[in-house]
Amino acid sequence: MGQRARMLATVLMGLLCLGLLGRDEVSLPADGDAALPAGEKYVALTFDDGPKRGTTDRLLDGLKQKRATATFFLIGQQIAQAPDLVLRMEEEGHQIGNHTWSHQRLDSVTPEEALCEIRQTEEALTALLGEQTGPHWLRPPYGQVPLEAEAGVPMVKWSVDPRDWESRDVKKVTQAVLECAEPNSIILFHDIYSTSVDAALAVVDALQKEGYWFVTVEELLRINGVIPQAGTLYRTGNG
């Protein structure tokens, strides 16, 4: 074996040992160097009803420290109160979604009003973050979806709901999530409550110890080979 061939063999053996060959890898858009290997356990944390100063910023600090990413479904009329936090979400690799302009139940208004609720928030988001970031995915308030064909974007529900808005109890909320979470779960929180921020960060700690990775909803679908379709409602990472 020549020197070059020996060197090549050594490099190949090294890559095999590191597990870098033969794995189906998905690139992470927030960081071109990182990868999301198949065969790992992934979940998506989602946060509704923000942004809110005092809670959302504390959550962003915690997620950054723990190297976890999440998805934020924002209420359009609140964006102007904390545009810096929305910019920070984008910069730190989180996914940003639309939760309507004024948290309307989309099955209780006319189709025109519903579209207006969605469009106003989309316009606020693209004005702040740039056209290239849109269109942003939709989480319809209360999970009520009357306009599947007209939403124009993929829609996201959830598979784990600890009802954090109801109990506002860190331990109860944390426990409710840990009891139900499994690979590909989409977990619902509201980052407007301090208790929910504490619970979400405790969930990150506990599930990271079990080998879970925290990714955005978009990444979770991609890892599962799901191609997001406009008008379709996704409840878990595999559909």
Q: Which residues of this chain interact with Ni ion, rule CB under 5 A? A: 48-49, 141
d(CA 183, CA 41): 5
Q: Which of 94, 99, 136, 190 is catalytic?
A: 190
Residue 71, H or E segment: strand 71-74
Residue 70 C-alpha from the chain's centroid: 4
Residue with smaller CB distance to Ni ion, 93 or 97: 97
Residue with smaller CB distance to Ni ion, 164 or 223: 164
C-alpha to C-alpha distances, 171 to 80, 132, 191, nearest whole angstrom? 32, 40, 16
Write down the least CB distance from residue 185 to Ni ion, Å: 19
Backbone angle region of 130, left / alpha / beta, with phi > 0 → left and psi within -120 to 50 → alpha: left
Write down the least CB distance from residue 75 to Ni ion, Å: 7
Query: Could you tell me if 129 and 145 are in contact, meaning their C-beta atoms sit under 8 angstroms apart?
Result: no
Write down the least CB distance from residue 49 to Ni ion, Å: 5
C-alpha to C-alpha distances, 2 to 7, 13, 177, nearest whole angstrom? 9, 16, 57
Q: Could you write out the DSSP letters of every residue in 109-165? A: S-HHHHHHHHHHHHHHHHHHH-GGG-SPPB--GGG--S-TTTS-S-EE--SB---HH
Residue with smaller CB distance to Ni ion, 41 or 235: 235
Write down the least CB distance from residue 217 to Ni ion, Å: 15
For this structure, is 99 an active site residue?
no
C-alpha to C-alpha distances, 229 to 97, 234, 237, nearest whole angstrom? 15, 9, 13
* Owner of token pair 């990182």: 34
Write down the least CB distance from residue 167 to Ni ion, Å: 16
Q: Which of 48, 49, 164, 191 is catalytic?
A: 48
For this structure, is 48 an active site residue?
yes
d(CA 58, CA 110): 37
Residue with smaller CB distance to Ni ion, 139 or 222: 139
Residue with smaller CB distance to Ni ion, 75 or 170: 75
Query: Could you tell me if 95 and 71 are in contact, meaning their C-beta atoms sit under 8 angstroms apart?
Result: yes
Give the active site residues.
48, 190
